Amino acid sequence: MNDKLSALYLFVRVARTSSFTRAGRELRLSQPSVSRRIRELEAEVGTSLFVRSTRAVTLTEAGSDYLARVEKILSELDEADHIARGSVELSGHLRVALSTSFGVREVIPRLPPFMRGNPRLHIDLLMADEMQDLVAEGADVAFRFGPLADSSATSKLIGRSPRLLVASPGYLASAGTPAEPDDLAGHTFIIGPSSASPTGWTFQKDERRVVYRGEGRLTVSVNEGATAAAAAGLGILAIGLWGCRPELEDGRLVPVLEDWSLEPVAINAVFPGGRAARPAARALVAYLADELLRLSV
């Protein structure tokens, strides 16, 4: 039975990555071993599950139907194992998709107690600043910021991170310190993934609302780079508190327009659609939601 379960887990990863090689790398198997096990599974099922080509591996119609049923079965089996153990201890592999900056700054420092409490659980952190495909990556949960695109996935709001403008003391000493949003005209801006806004930034103070769109001279593709650029004195940056808290605490960055507020950034846990959230995913989300309460507004 264990061999069949292993084959099913392998089948899911091949289907989601469209690659024998990548699935093998994830599960520490050679490409020939992956190919052999999939052939054996197809022989047992009695039909071809994949169409092989030199460029990609794609599901057959039968393979697509099989995948939908297998993922549901594996998810329910995971849930059954968890309930049968009658404890809060979690096991297996948990794949978590998140941005690099959020992972390095906020999640990893908070993981030790969670992992000590669940010694049988293995966590794979899939960190990237571009939007990740939960299904293709085989992620059990993803942490995303800002408005969510419509999809079949389900989500849970776990907090809101304050959003602010920051700059280095050196930059402000040279370029001047804005007192009003209108004073931002003429300043240099850094545009990173968390600061880009097609509609501009909306500032609020009491009953006043002002929309300002900053044009950046420097665009950075990762948030860590944008924060580093601001600390280096290259301009003003709009970012969530999660992305610059250490720099604010040690004085490398200071807030700009402190009397004005920007709309906070929602932090959501997103679960892939089509299957129940795994117990380990739900537990990690609940744990991090409690840990991140002090970031909320």
Domain with residue 50: its CATH number is: 1.10.10.10
State whether 154 and 183 are in the same domain. no
What is the rounded distance in angstroms from the CA atom of residue 287 to the CA atom of residue 267?
14
What is the rounded distance in angstroms from the CA atom of residue 186 to the CA atom of residue 204?
21
State whether 194 and 256 are in the same domain. yes
Q: Phi, psi (5° rounding) for residue 179? A: -105, -25
What is the rounded distance in angstroms from the CA atom of residue 248 to the CA atom of residue 255?
8
State whether 243 and 169 are in the same domain. yes
State whether 137 and 284 are in the same domain. yes
**pLDDT for res 291:** 85
Beta carbons of 248 and 169 less than 8 angstroms apart:
no
Neighbours of 194 (CB within 10 A): 26
**pLDDT for res 82:** 62
Final residue before a domain boundary, out of 65, 86, 107: 86
State whether 1 and 68 are in the same domain. yes
State whether 254 and 235 are in the same domain. yes
**pLDDT for res 187:** 93
Q: In which domain, by residue range, is 255 found?
A: 163-263
Beta carbons of 158 and 289 less than 8 angstroms apart:
yes
Residue 227: name the closest of 256, 252, 199 by CA: 252
What is the rounded distance in angstroms from the CA atom of residue 294 to the CA atom of residue 241?
11
**pLDDT for res 288:** 92
Q: Is the pTM of this model over 0.85?
A: no
**pLDDT for res 176:** 95
State whether 188 and 280 are in the same domain. no
Give me the half-sphere count of Cα atoms (radius 13 Å) on the Cβ side of residue 115: 11
Final residue before a domain boundary, out of 30, 54, 86: 86
Instruction: Give the pLDDT means over successive 10-residue stretches in the chain (297 positions).
Output: 80 85 86 91 92 85 86 74 64 85 92 91 85 73 80 78 93 95 91 75 87 83 92 94 92 95 88 74 91 64
**pLDDT for res 158:** 86
